[in-house]
Structure 1
């Protein structure tokens, strides 16, 4: 955690799975994540992270890195201090969404934590399925629509077509 605290950017390459605990640890100390694969966060944490991923993270496609079309240092040097400050503020704003609040706490205002976000998301999905069933439609059609999120940068559309 000390390394994350002392860093502005934190590399988040896929490990045994696309997402590692390191991602959440780094965000909890305000470190801006650098992703190399869309499934590391953008494609699977839709309820928790903003859709505009450039607000809180840096994306460097693994293939572009391997083919030496882009470099980590070259990418980071191009980010201004103002952009870094804005991104860090976004990262800090994500923290309450990634932790579980203590319902016994004395918070003056209610903060939406990881649990309440998950429950709200599940209830929305259940309601969509109910509505489709009520309308006589197959509830499985379009169910994964939210997971078809596409990238507007680089050649990432290929990632989703190959899955």
Structure 2
């Protein structure tokens, strides 16, 4: 993680010596400071890091003008060079399908959980809100696909006062 990365890189260099390595890291693991040190290193340090979503938003217009290049049967990429860095935007139909399946599975689990909550007897609004918070945590981003309406304070919890529907525009 970001707190141990610098020490880890130093340990590998000490144990195996300086060499041309390519480090592959998830977004959020290296800090900008660590990346700056890697760029300024005496021995070239190459890395591939998932860019933070904010950076992708900044580069969006640049990516739009670039053509897709086929790198594998199911994988296409676009490249953008900026400030001495090369940014790679990749799309994979099989990965997209996998992520859709995972999102749909979570959505199904969430709907089942919401139905279970709605069918509970003697549920107070406070407990309902707590259970919704737990369901939201478990569902992750799938939670935002549903439009959920909870009863107002003092209203009984029924199928008419506690409703949820799939927002088709958010489903994709």
Q: Of the two structures, which has the highest relative contact order with CA contacts closer than 8 Å and spacing of 6 or more? A: 1
Q: TM-score, normalised by structure 1?
A: 0.27
Name the structure where strand makes up a greater proportion of residues: 2
